[in-house]
């Protein structure tokens, strides 16, 4: 069922690997001409334009952009108790992990009276986007809100698409998750228009702009994030979900089949990749997928993803080559199913998150491992990280020198200023120790 890429018997370079490995084709540039007018319309006309686009794309206009408190309360009151308990446990675990991510301030003493202190200041107002297309994602509410709260952000707004089936408000499970987290500002707006409204706000509608927009979304949301970057910060340009599995012949083919299917369930463009030196395991996994994927409710979507060019089986000579392939692929989610899985995981350098062993599947991280599920895609794990408490913090240096310390370093500053032909920089130092050429 899956395409096979056979790398055995050769040692491809990193650039050859990047070209050979399966990868989805999502061209954000191709949709920029479609998205740019939406962003500009919202920039110019605010909430009115956003609601007009919502009517066009979502088929509904909410009674207001801001979801009333009583609607949110009702969503939680009507949510199945088992789901409430699951959300509460997920929130607790994610909060424990993200609370420990916040770094402490520290001071470096360079000389007597000369210090530099690094402090970590939260971004003040954050906009958290939660998609609402082919699935409902209360887990994305948790993954966005908790790290922002643990960073100490003073103002949070969640934006999620209005639903025609739910009175024009975001899905009730999304609203319930917001209520459990104490989020009291929720906007019923989705897509590119939501990103634009978060970035530019609307004073007339009492919608304050944010300082950063985070959260996953489709290619139109990603394009909008690219267009507003610089006006606001963004976390990343997220692509379709990815899983890679590095496995040897000790792995259970049924486990691997289900894990590959589970990520294919996200989207027709989702990527599922198996990397192994065992041709026998590859055949077993492929057979198990063929036998099992049809029983899932989203079988058509799974089939589209697994048969697409972005998914496949990569055959390698040995585990060492498998590690090299995994690093070149730089998966959003990487599972390790090998002997000594932890030791193998510690050799990986490029992955959004690494799931170690047979009992740490990706769905664990999607919901309740405690880690964050908003992760770098499309190979960007080579140079970027997933969403975390750090995303919502800014490092600021406090530079504090006394007179003696500045006088000691002053000649070096003057010499460098003269070397750069910026003499006024040097005069700024001299002015503190000289009066018209005389030392004071």
Residue 330 class from Cβ within 10 Å (0-12 exposed, 13-18 middle, 19+ buried)? buried
Of the listed 120, 333, 337, 373, which one is catalytic? 333
| Binding site members for substrate | 241, 263, 266, 333, 366, 420, 425
Reply yes or no on whether 332 is catalytic: yes
Residue among 332, 335, 337, 373 flagged as catalytic:
332
Catalytic annotation present for 106: no
Residues annotated in a binding site? 129, 193, 218, 241, 263, 266, 333, 366, 420, 425
Catalogue the active-site residues. 332-333
């Amino acid at each position: 069922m899956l395409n096979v890429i056979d790398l055995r018997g050769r040692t491809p370079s990193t650039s050859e690997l990047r070209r050979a490995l399966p990868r989805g084709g999502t061209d954000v540039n191709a949709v920029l001409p479609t998205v740019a007018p939406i962003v500009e319309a919202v920039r110019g006309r605010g909430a009115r334009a956003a609601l007009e686009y919502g009517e066009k794309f979502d088929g509904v206009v909410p009674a207001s952009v801001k979801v009333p408190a009583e609607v949110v309360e009702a969503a939680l009151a009507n949510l199945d108790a088992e789901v409430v308990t699951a959300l509460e446990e997920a929130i607790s675990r994610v909060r424990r992990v993200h609370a420990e991510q916040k770094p402490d301030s520290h001071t470096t003493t360079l000389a007597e009276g000369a210090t530099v202190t690094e402090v970590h200041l939260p971004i003040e107002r954050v906009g958290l986007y939660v998609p609402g297309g082919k699935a409902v994602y209360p887990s994305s509410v948790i993954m966005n809100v908790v790290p922002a709260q643990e960073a100490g952000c003073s103002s949070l707004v969640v934006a999620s698409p209005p639903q025609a089936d739910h009175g024009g408000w975001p899905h009730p499970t999304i609203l319930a998750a917001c209520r459990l987290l104490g989020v009291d500002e929720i906007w019923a707006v989705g897509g590119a228009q939501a990103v634009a409204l978060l970035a530019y706000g609307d004073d007339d509608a009492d919608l304050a702009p944010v300082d950063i927009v985070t959260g996953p979304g489709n290619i139109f949301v990603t394009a909008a994030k690219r267009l507003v970057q610089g006006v606001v910060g963004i976390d990343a340009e997220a692509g379709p979900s990815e899983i890679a599995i590095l496995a040897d012949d000790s792995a259970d083919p049924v486990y691997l089949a289900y894990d590959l299917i589970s990520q294919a369930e996200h989207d027709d463009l989702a990527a599922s990749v198996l990397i192994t030196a065992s041709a026998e395991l590859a055949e077993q996994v492929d057979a198990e997928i063929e036998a099992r994927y049809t029983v899932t409710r989203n079988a058509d979507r799974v089939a589209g993803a697994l048969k697409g060019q972005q998914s496949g089986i990569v055959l390698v000579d040995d585990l060492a080559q498998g590690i090299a392939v995994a690093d070149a692929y730089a998966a959003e989610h990487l599972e390790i199913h090998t002997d000594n899985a932890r030791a193998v995981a510690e050799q990986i350098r490029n992955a959004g998150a690494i799931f170690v062993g047979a009992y740490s599947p990706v769905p664990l991280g999607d919901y309740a491992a405690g880690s964050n599920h908003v992760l770098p895609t499309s190979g960007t794990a080579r140079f970027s990280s997933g969403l975390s408490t750090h995303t919502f913090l800014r490092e600021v240096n406090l530079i504090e020198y006394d007179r003696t310390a500045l006088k000691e370093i002053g000649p070096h500053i003057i010499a460098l200023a003269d070397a750069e032909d910026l003499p006024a920089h040097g005069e700024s130092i001299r002015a503190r120790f000289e009066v018209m050429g005389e030392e004071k």
